[in-house]
Structure 1
Amino acid sequence: MTAESDDMGEARRISVMVPAPLDSPLDYLWAGDMPAPAPGHLVEVPLGKRRVIGGVWDGGRYKGRQVALAKLKPAIRPVDAAPLDAALMKLVDWVAAYTMSAPGMILKMCLSVPEALEGVPVRKHLFWREGLSAPDKLTPARKAVLTLMADGIARTPSEIGELAGVSAAVIKGLEEQGALVAEMRPVDQPFAVPMPKAEGPVLGREQQTAADSISAAVAAKDFAPFLLDGITGSGKTEVYFEGVVEALKDPTAQILVLLPEIALTAQWFDRFADRFGVEPVVWHSDIGQAGRRRAWGEIAAGRARVVVGARSALFLPFRNLRLIIVDEEHDPSYKQEEGVIYHARDMAVVRAKFEACPLVLASATPSMESRVNAKAGRYKELRLTERHGAAELPAMRVIDMRHEGPASGEWIAPMLASAIEDRLGRGEQSMLFLNRRGYAPLTLCRTCGHRIECPACSAWLVEHRSERRLVCHHCGHSMRTPDNCPECDDTGSLVPCGPGVERLQEEVTARFPTARLAVMTSDTLTRPGDMARMVAMIESGALDIVIGTQIVTKGYHFPNLTCVGVIDADLGLRGGDLRAGERTWQQLVQVAGRAGRGDKPGTVFLQSYDPAHPVVAAIATGDGEAFMEAEEAERSRFHMPPFGRLAALVISGPDLAAVVETGRRLARAAPQGDGIHVLGPAPAPLARLRGLHRHRMLVQTGRDTLIQDLVAGWLGRVKPASAVKIRVDIDPYSFM
């Protein structure tokens, strides 16, 4: 074979990243007359006995032994879809390296809707236009159809029947008489284009200054990270909407807005639709497969202009991303704890840099990481210190439960109960916050002391009295609440310990029997639309008292809500988590921010057994800045994030002895050196999860250490025992 033919053969070699847990692309042979596709193009290739769709990659970035041309499997075909752009491919490589994950699994998140790559189904659509025949007889049903179709939008017969409330025979008759025209079209139609109102709301001085900064960065089309730090009710959403308005001036621009729990933000969507005329394109797990296919296809084609999604939306294949917004950037739900472990806020910063577009991180309680980045000048800080309009910050009252607590068996202190009674008399609303689902977190036998635990996890089962079941909130195990103690068989000896929202509901019902009451938790709001209906009821005044878990803290605006009671302000401070103080402060500030957002003053009551705790004191005095400064100094002193690096190793397996042995091997091979500290192995606080035993190790280094290289070298020196897995979490947020 000549050198020339050798070169020609190599030109037919393509590297393909496939959506599988592989550490590098695979090489394939490109056969046929067409030129080999360039990086980014999608191709179908064989993988074992399967066919998969992957992306042509720059294989030179990955080290590995090159397979001889003669042994390469041929690629099957090119895929008729928009190629991945260079910024997204760069993000895949970067996230894989940073999180120590297989790049194929990052690509799998980008190609999360395989159906969208197989072509969109085509169905019959009907439409109306000027000049079509009039039906021989205009019945009320036919008139309803023609009135609907007068907007010129093509619809399937089933859509017409549902929207007009008529039978299929009525629609068929109009088609046969030429009053409607049929055409085969893809079922996935383009989304409506957002069109901002000519005049937006009147902004305050601080708001306008912040909005002008964001808009100028959007117009400049370059990477510019902002921290939009505004107190609750200060109008942060309206500020970053101005950036969206500026971006939409470019007819090809796309905007991504990340929200921590998108299914719980009905008011945000109403505000967007009011400002831009249509709802944004939505991306989350509850929209259904057809909805995901449509959204993914329109995003990849560049036609979806504003996309609002949960953390996974960060990996969608945008064509021209011109602005990224991370709302409630402090929220812990941005941290993905399963599969590929990553923090969406941090990866959003990276994607904005690769896309050369502005990024807005918005919060009333910014994370320590974002605060430090702003102080260091890496982010531009935009401060909003006043509530928008006539609203004022609520008054704060701390109830010392050691001296002012309720009677035994009750959970609402007299001062809070009196405030709720007062609001009921004035026709105002109250909210009670307790971050515990169910009726009680523990069921105990008074006779023998037995505590009912999950058989698969080292966790107590939570009683859900309304369903007469005990449930594990970690693995989902559920059992009927027994009549007798499973240990001693005594009858009537099982008692609930501690309050959950169901138990609180029971007390509120007894105390305020005429009050209209609702409970907001992930157990009670289980279907799409449940949250929107609940929000509408509160807004309309149909409810007097709302009891909720953390989902009530998500930025809701209820003008008639003037009393907020935190039943256990100390709850999040137990357990020794690195971020326990910061996280509890953020959560309490957010829930307190629901009070007094209209023209009526609000009051927040914090029930605490430790009123002198720095977190409770910071909320009570409104001096959150001093609290966060103290937290920052403490972290800096001990070189904890963001002033140092952490990586967690979670060792898990079905056999405890094998898990312990793997931990010992890791400890013997642990890295050493100045500024490197390794803790563990030790049983995890949640030592058994879904039937697997779990031990943890933690490595701490200085800020400038390449901790990924350190951990990779460490793991390379250790072979796990049989059936044991080691999961790496860079920048851990959970220590369970």
Structure 2
Amino acid sequence: MSGARRKAATEMSPLRPRLRVLLPLPLAGAYDYRVPQGMEPPPLGAFVVVPLSGRAMIGVIWDGDADPALPERKLRDIEQVLDVPPMTASLRKFVDWVAAYTVSPPGAVLRMAMSSPSALEPPAARAGWRLSAAGRATLERGGKVTPTRQRVLEAMAGELDGEPHLASAIAAAAGVSTGVLRGMADAGLLEPALIARAVEFLPPDLKRTGPQLGEDQQVAARAMREGVAKGGFGVTLLSGVTGSGKTEVYLEAVAECLARGRQALVLLPEIALSAQWLERFEARFGVPPAMWHSELGSKRRRDTWRGVAEGRVQALVGARSALFLPFPDLGLIVVDEEHETAFKQEEGVVYHARDMAVVRARLNEAACVLVSATPSLETLTNAENGRYSSLDLPNRHGGATLPSVQAIDQRVTPPERGRFLSPPLVQAINEAIGRGEQAMLFLNRRGYAPLTLCRTCGHRMRCPNCTAWLVEHRIQKRLQCHHCGHAEPIPPACPECGAEGSMTPLGPGVERVQEEAAELFPDARRLVMASDTLPGPAAAAEAARAIQAREVDLIIGTQIVAKGWHFPHLTVVGVVDADLGLAGGDLRAAERTVQLLHQVAGRAGRAEAPGRVLLQSWNPEHPVMQALISGDLAGFMAAEADQRRPGHWPPFGRLAALIVSSEDEREADQIARDLGLEAPGGEGVEVLGPAPAPLALLRGRHRRRLLIKVRRDVAVQPILREWLSRVRVPNSVKVQLDVDPVSFL
């Protein structure tokens, strides 16, 4: 057939249905495909295989109408519909919402919802055994077999429901060896059969009762249960002092959600390090929850993703990416430690999981609970404005009292020369250990020293890829960049002037504090808790076990120790450098510092013995120090709000950052200048920059920043789209958008 006749025949043939397919790629939108002859049109949300540029891709049938003007000859056929539950309408709306809010391609957001591609394939099958026709006939007619074979026949027809099973399971049920099964197969009584792999997620035991709740906890738990039982969307802020039992309260909301047949999701800022939380969940429900975080192996990720999609996972605890799992009936989302900046994803699609959790709950007609002892100013403002309801637990559970907090003025009582722990702090630790209690030293800085320089020429060791000093890690005998991961050996001589033995560490990290503690408290059993010393859940669980078993006298830790740990014998907490987080011009520096130090202080005195917190500071008059000493966090947050409100700074206005980066510094400067010249204006809109980012070089790319600030009633996304459309950006330059930034690096 000639080309002209083939074209005419194609145009005369009946048109087949067209569907939009969204692919997990950073594309502008969905592509149109055609339903092949003889295939039923797949439903919205179905996962399908389609051709794209000579390769097969998995995508999702997306909402909206295909383009009727697209010529038939340009359409390609859908190749296959995968046997997996379709993506729900609520999750598709969530993908579109996140894409629109973050000004990201929808396909890039879809990729996060398809984070385990192998889960879309049929589960692998395993070889097992089932009764053959001869075996069933023998059992039904009472054929003559040995007693052991009779037990196998009866077990397979009864306890094992006549379904195929692994040889080990059959042997265990019948109380025989697997050799008996091989003999029965040879005799024709059993036949081989494939068994689909379906990981079982044990259902939580809803008949179990939780721990005895105090009066305040009972009131809050009752309110939360009623909110979940009522159904529909609503956001509740659950606040309360450290140690007030907030976890036990919101687990009652989880129980109510599960009792109503819906799924529950709990987000934690660092799931891999939350060993004690998992113990509390299992104590409450008798089984561990399903888990979702970056350290899961590929097989477990596949099984969990599929279990969620099929509704077999009822309760799941996860990191921020768990928000994009395919829950068919999500009834509750809990964001624990909602103030934590770890909920902000800074790479790829830039989003804040706390804010997106509220959106996903609304789209799912689900309840959302935000939990913190130190809520963010954004959440507090929403509660004060009536957008969120609020519950508060003002007292510690079980009669424990809040610790006393005092500042050690290092201008008056500085550490000894060459040391970092002041005499009052050393004395307090010695007294606590002498009483058989535990103490903690907190410094939010990993490694041995944050800076290494040459005493002879002043040369400083810096990262070749980033605007950052290299941090000494003395145990590993290397210098490392904490931004890009670059590492190199500690040089025996200065790379600049060649002076031997002149490289000197400046400032303390936790390794250096540990070295000093070994000299000051030689008999104390010490443990360092930092992200590089606790590489995963198992290490964190072992550390928690050792501390609870009183095998540790002195804990030395970074911010990891602030996250929800309950150590009943810990009575003294010393903050080595309380001023550390206040340096620089970060909008939220004071808020973050007061939150972090309050959380750290909350580790002390959580049982009968009273707690004591000592803050080493060069500026004890600072409002942050005074708020911690007085315990008036509400007054501090009110003062923060008063400072931000007049200038329309968040949460009373909106911010968005544009980060221009390129391997070529001149190119980064040029595009940043072009964006600056095309900056939008108008009432309620202000653009700051361009200017070099604080990290002007990161992973080998030069970075420039622009910041747009708008009033709360102005939508920033349309402004950003129109702004970017006016500037041509070459492929070698990347412009990353960060709506609602929490970091200004």
Pairwise TM-score range, normalised by the shorter structure: over 0.9
Deviation per residue, 1:76-100 (Å, 9 max, x gap): 1111110111110100110000000
> What is the CA-CA distance between 1:490 and the residue it aligns to?
0.3
The AA in structure 2 aligned to 1:235 is G
Matched with 2:568 is 559
RMSD (CA atoms): 2.6
Matched with 2:59 is 54
Q: Does residue 668 of structure 2 align to residue 663 of structure 1?
A: no
> What is the CA-CA distance between 1:313 and the residue it aligns to?
0.2
Deviation per residue, 1:38-67 (Å, 9 max, x gap): 21111111121221111111234x9x8953
> What is the CA-CA distance between 1:127 and the residue it aligns to?
11
Q: Does residue 98 of structure 2 align to residue 95 of structure 1?
A: yes
Give the Cα separation in 2 of the matches to 1:641 and 1:133. 79
Contact 2:167/2:181 (8 A) holds in 1? no
Contact 1:134/1:178 (8 A) holds in 2? no
Matched with 2:721 is 712
Give the Cα separation in 1 of the matches to 2:431 and 2:617. 22
The AA in structure 1 aligned to 2:98 is V
Matched with 2:413 is 404
Equivalent of residue 250 in structure 2, options 240, 250, 253? 240
Q: Does residue 115 of structure 2 align to residue 117 of structure 1?
A: no
Deviation per residue, 1:593-635 (Å, 9 max, x gap): 0001111111111111110111111001101111000001111
The AA in structure 1 aligned to 2:47 is L
Give the Cα separation in 2 of the matches to 1:331 and 1:594. 17
> What is the CA-CA distance between 1:201 and the residue it aligns to?
2.0
Alignment length (residue pairs): 708
Percentage of identical aligned residues: 51
Q: Does residue 29 of structure 2 align to residue 37 of structure 1?
A: no
Matched with 2:331 is 322
Equivalent of residue 74 in structure 2, options 71, 84, 87? 71
Matched with 1:214 is 224
The AA in structure 2 aligned to 1:225 is V
Distance 1:382 1:8, change over 3 A: farther
Distance 1:385 1:160, change over 3 A: farther
Q: Does residue 732 of structure 2 align to residue 723 of structure 1?
A: yes
Distance 1:89 1:721, change over 3 A: closer
Distance 1:134 1:216, change over 3 A: farther
> What is the CA-CA distance between 1:722 and the residue it aligns to?
5.8
Deviation per residue, 1:434-490 (Å, 9 max, x gap): 010000000011111100100111100000001110000000000000000000000
The alignment partner of 2:303 has SS state of helix
The AA in structure 1 aligned to 2:448 is Y
Matched with 2:394 is 385
Matched with 1:143 is none
Matched with 1:489 is 498
Distance 1:343 1:6, change over 3 A: farther
Q: Does residue 36 of structure 2 align to residue 27 of structure 1?
A: no
The alignment partner of 1:490 has SS state of coil
> What is the CA-CA distance between 1:172 and the residue it aligns to?
4.3
Matched with 2:635 is 626
The AA in structure 2 aligned to 1:209 is V
Equivalent of residue 651 in structure 2, options 642, 667, 685? 642
> What is the CA-CA distance between 1:527 and the residue it aligns to?
3.9
The alignment partner of 1:285 has SS state of coil
Unaligned stretches of 5+ in structure 2? 1-5, 132-138, 140-144, 150-158
Distance 1:29 1:244, change over 3 A: same
Give the Cα separation in 2 of the matches to 1:479 and 1:354. 49
Higher mean Cα deviation, 36-45 or 410-419?
A: 36-45
Contact 2:272/2:536 (8 A) holds in 1? no
> What is the CA-CA distance between 1:10 and the residue it aligns to?
5.8
> What is the CA-CA distance between 1:246 and the residue it aligns to?
0.9
Deviation per residue, 1:11-63 (Å, 9 max, x gap): 61100011111111000011122331221111111121221111111234x9x
The AA in structure 2 aligned to 1:76 is E
Higher mean Cα deviation, 416-425 or 195-204?
A: 195-204
Write the mapping of 1:521-670 to structure 2, written as runs, cut at 5 A. Answer: 521-670=530-679
The alignment partner of 2:339 has SS state of coil
Contact 1:326/1:362 (8 A) holds in 2? yes
> What is the CA-CA distance between 1:202 and the residue it aligns to?
2.1
> What is the CA-CA distance between 1:735 and the residue it aligns to?
0.4
The alignment partner of 2:217 has SS state of helix
Give the Cα separation in 1 of the matches to 2:320 and 2:165. 32
The AA in structure 1 aligned to 2:350 is I
Q: Does residue 245 of structure 2 align to residue 223 of structure 1?
A: no
Give the Cα separation in 2 of the matches to 1:216 and 1:575. 45
Give the Cα separation in 2 of the matches to 1:524 and 1:156. 41
Higher mean Cα deviation, 717-726 or 300-309?
A: 717-726
Give the Cα separation in 1 of the matches to 2:274 and 2:485. 25
Contact 1:267/1:535 (8 A) holds in 2? yes
Distance 1:296 1:721, change over 3 A: closer
Equivalent of residue 385 in structure 2, options 376, 380, 402? 376
Matched with 1:142 is none
Matched with 1:108 is 111
Matched with 2:281 is 272
Contact 1:646/1:700 (8 A) holds in 2? yes
Write the mapping of 1:161-200 to structure 2, written as runs, cut at 5 A. Answer: 172-173=178-179, 175-176=181-182, 184-200=194-210
The AA in structure 1 aligned to 2:194 is M
Give the Cα separation in 2 of the matches to 1:178 and 1:85. 47
TM-score by length of 2: 0.91
> What is the CA-CA distance between 1:187 and the residue it aligns to?
2.9
Unaligned stretches of 5+ in structure 1? 137-148, 165-169
Matched with 1:141 is none
Contact 2:164/2:194 (8 A) holds in 1? no
Q: Does residue 684 of structure 2 align to residue 675 of structure 1?
A: yes
Q: Which has the larger radius of gyration?
A: 2
TM-score by length of 1: 0.92
Distance 1:543 1:48, change over 3 A: same
> What is the CA-CA distance between 1:580 and the residue it aligns to?
0.5
The AA in structure 2 aligned to 1:532 is A
The AA in structure 2 aligned to 1:36 is P
Give the Cα separation in 1 of the matches to 2:222 and 2:14. 56
The AA in structure 2 aligned to 1:648 is A
Distance 1:422 1:66, change over 3 A: farther
The AA in structure 2 aligned to 1:96 is A
> What is the CA-CA distance between 1:193 and the residue it aligns to?
0.4
Equivalent of residue 12 in structure 1, options 12, 17, 29? 17
Matched with 1:145 is none
The AA in structure 2 aligned to 1:44 is V
Distance 1:674 1:190, change over 3 A: same
The AA in structure 1 aligned to 2:110 is L
Distance 1:90 1:44, change over 3 A: same
Equivalent of residue 437 in structure 2, options 428, 447, 472? 428
